[in-house]
Amino acid sequence: MMNFEYYTPTKVVFGKGTVEKAGELVKQFGGSKVLIHYGGGSVKRTGLLDRVKAALDAAGIAHVELGGVVPNPRLSLVYEGIELCRKEGVDLLLPVGGGSVIDSAKAIGYGLANDGDVWDFYDFKRAPTACMPIGAIVTIAAAGSEMSNSSVITNENGWLKRGCNTDYCRPKFAIMDPELTMTLPAYQTACGCADILMHTMERYFNFDVMDLTDALAEGLMRAVIAASRELVADPNNYEARANVMWASSLSHNGLTGCGAGGGDWACHRLEHEVGGMFDVAHGAGLAAIWGSWARYVLPEDPARFAKFAVNVLGVEPQADATATALKGVEAMEDFYRAIGMPTNLRELGVEPTEAQILELAEKCDIATRGKLGAVKHLTREDMANIYRMAK
Ligand code: NZQ
Ligand code: ZN
């Protein structure tokens, strides 16, 4: 196993009715005027925005708001948010939504706490040295941004989707009420489950992981798979909602990667380019790519894929590790189909031309600076091959 650092400074407030604690939590973390940041309108339709405002008013916290964050959040709105917060004297950011809204808030937070163009931090030009405090109210179990060190923003100029990872942006607190996620369309619930699983799978597919981390990872993945299936049958199942919501945070706060030396992350980076170019839902994009990636890299470490097949998916061991591993890939794809997720790009609704495949591979290679993959290091040609297999 590798040495590791584990840092999770986020205070988690979990369960029914926790939104009403928003004002007190803002106060506790030193906020007096917040930006309520949200997406395309679900928070208005569900009445959540009014509940948040009432909780802030009750605690005497002033607020301004900025909606309009779209999935694959855009840089232009980040600039607007920075300007608004400067003008209004905002001292804490309160995203109410999913990964897109929280990531947009993180980018605003970087812009407020550092001089110069915030895109520089996503474009590898320089690193931020601070971020304005953030408290997240989570409405979808998926990206895990409420506890992660990551923010992913899309620059409309060139449709570049890029991440910036630092501990500064980890939220100070996160309110997680599983009931809030019951208004999600089934497709978004499933996308979230696919993303949660992939955050642990990215860390799991790696060499020399410690036994305890493997056990935590396998338990989390089994629980998410079971809850995802339950949610297809019964979207209002509170226990299942709670399981995936807590898993979304634990799957991306570093816990399931301790000692794993960073993880593989090829599927994420390959997907980010697809998301940037074709604006697809992140979780669905991951599901569409995973099977092709797995078959492509599996010969590098069949035993690891076989362990995943047996311990996570309940596959019967076959004559050799490769056969077991391949059964596992099939079982995972069956699971994706069962929850309504695509298993290739066509099912995702994307049919890239050969020129677009080469462009995706080139962008991914540049974004990862020639260093992608732990199970197998992927060259630009490998990336193009995986996109071709996923067509
Ligand atoms: O915009 P609204 O109207 O709110 O609708 C949203 C959006 O259309 C809807 N939604 C959210 N909560 C809802 C709801 N609809 C009804 N009821 C609710 N309770 O769901 C849609 C998707 O929302 P989004 O925030 O985009 O989902 P998600 O949490 O999956 O975030 C995806 C983004 O996060 C990035 C992805 O790349 C993508 O841009 N990621 C961020 C990470 C991080 N910061 O750590 C890690 C991930 O790997 C990922 O890359
Ligand atoms: Zn993800």
| 185 pLDDT more than 80 | yes
What's the mean pLDDT in 304-330?
A: 98
Show the beta-strand stretches assigned E in 75-199: 92-97, 135-138, 150-155, 160-165, 173-176
The confidence band for 2, taking pLDDT boundaries of 50, 70 and 90, is: confident
Q: Tell me the CA–centroid distance for residue 326 and ligand 1, in Å.
A: 31
The domains of the chain, with CATH numbers, are: 11-180 (3.40.50.1970), 184-389 (1.20.1090.10)
- Rounded mean pLDDT of the chain? 97
Residues at CB less than 6 angstroms from ligand 1: 39-43, 71-72, 97-101, 103, 139-140, 142-145, 148, 150-152, 180-181, 183-184, 188, 191-192, 195, 252, 268, 275, 282-283
What's the mean pLDDT in 50-66?
A: 98
For the chain, how far is it from start to end, CA to CA, in angstroms? 36
Tell me how far apart the alpha carbons of residues 251 and 239 are, in angstroms, rounded to a whole number: 18
Q: Are 46 and 183 in contact (CB under 8 A)?
A: yes
Which atom of ligand 1 is the closest one to the Cα of 183? 17
| 169 pLDDT more than 90 | yes
| 334 pLDDT more than 80 | yes
| 1 pLDDT more than 90 | no
Tell me how far apart the alpha carbons of residues 177 and 139 are, in angstroms, rounded to a whole number: 8
Which atom of ligand 1 is the closest one to the Cα of 191? 30
Which of 19, 38, 140, 155 maximizes ligand 1 atoms within 8 Å of its Cβ, making it the mutation to test the pocket? 140
| Number of residues in the chain | 391
Give φ, ψ of 25 to 5 degrees.
Answer: -70, -40
Q: 238, exposed or middle or buried, with CB in 10 Å at 0-12, 13-18, 19+? A: middle
Q: What is the pLDDT of residue 262?
A: 84
What's the mean pLDDT in 320-331?
A: 98
| 23 pLDDT more than 90 | yes
**How do residues 79-127 score in pLDDT, each as one tens digit?**
999 999 999 999 999 999 999 999 999 999 999 999 999 999 999 899 9
| 208 pLDDT more than 80 | no
Q: Tell me the CA–centroid distance for residue 290 and ligand 2, in Å.
A: 12
Q: Tell me the CA–centroid distance for residue 208 and ligand 1, in Å.
A: 32
What's the mean pLDDT in 224-237?
A: 98
| 355 pLDDT more than 80 | yes
Print burial letters for 124-150: b (CB count within 10 Å at least 16), e (below 16).
eeeebeebbbbbbbbbbbbbbbbbbbb
| 207 pLDDT more than 90 | no
